[in-house]
């Protein structure tokens, strides 16, 4: 049975999609869409592609200061080594948070922002989005507190300065 979407597709494009589906089957490349909060498998690639074009796939999008936290439905499995499909992802966009340590050196928190947690269900993705927002808030507050303490406190002289007999 040909779906409604296939009726208006030129035969050469339909053939291309059918060949792609045949190639994907041995590798279990499956496609999903959202119906409300529920994940539904979409057997036909063209149906999935057309759904992806127009769907609002955001689970959450939040701005905190200069940061944009985005959690989206991916539509294909990103859990290549897991038994359950990984279909949602959270990403943080914005500058690295730099924290001035009490000794005057800078520490970048880029590592803690430069990862994409992924999830299997809508509920997990929604909770993960909230957790990421809380983590960004915590890092920003920590950055402000540590930097203000460091700036208000004199930096200790390096021991090598004293050995050389020089005063700063």
User: Could you give the CA distance from residue 146 to residue 17 in angstroms, rounded to a whole number?
Assistant: 55
pLDDT at 161: 45
Torsion angle of the four alpha carbons 107, 97, 126, 29, in this order, in degrees rounded to the nearest 10: -80
User: Could you give the CA distance from residue 19 to residue 51 in angstroms, rounded to a whole number?
Assistant: 20
pLDDT at 76: 92
Mean pLDDT of 149-153: 56
Are the C-beta atoms of residues 129 and 59 closer than 8 Å to each other? yes
pLDDT digits (tens, 9 = 90+) for 72-99: 999 998 887 777 889 999 998 887 666 5
Q: Phi and psi of 40, rounded to 5°?
A: -125, 130
Q: Where are the domains of the chain?
A: 1-55, 57-156
Q: Percentage of the chain with pLDDT > 70?
A: 64
Which residues lie closer than 8 Å to 154 by C-beta, 6 or more apart? none
User: Could you give the CA distance from residue 54 to residue 69 in angstroms, rounded to a whole number?
Assistant: 21
Find residue 41's DSSP bridge partners. 32
CA 54 vs. chain centroid, Å, equals 20
pLDDT digits (tens, 9 = 90+) for 94-140: 876 665 556 666 556 554 455 688 999 999 999 999 999 998 888 77
User: Could you give the CA distance from residue 66 to residue 94 in angstroms, rounded to a whole number?
Assistant: 6
pTM of full prediction above 0.75: no
């Amino acid at each position: 049975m040909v779906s409604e979407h296939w009726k208006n597709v030129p035969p050469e494009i339909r053939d291309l999609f059918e060949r792609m589906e045949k190639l994907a089957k041995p590798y279990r490349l499956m496609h999903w869409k959202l119906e409300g909060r529920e994940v539904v498998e979409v057997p036909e690639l063209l149906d999935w592609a057309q759904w992806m074009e127009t769907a609002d796939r955001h689970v959450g999008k939040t701005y905190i200061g200069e940061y944009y936290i985005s959690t989206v439905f991916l539509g294909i499995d990103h859990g290549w080594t897991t038994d359950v499909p990984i279909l949602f992802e959270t990403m943080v966009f914005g500058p690295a948070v730099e924290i001035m340590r009490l000794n005057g050196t800078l520490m970048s928190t880029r590592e803690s922002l430069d990862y994409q947690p992924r999830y299997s269900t809508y509920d997990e993705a929604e909770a993960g989005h909230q957790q990421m927002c809380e983590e960004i808030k915590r890092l920003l507050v920590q950055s402000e507190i540590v930097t203000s303490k460091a700036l208000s406190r004199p930096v200790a002289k390096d021991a090598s300065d004293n050995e050389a007999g020089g005063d700063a």
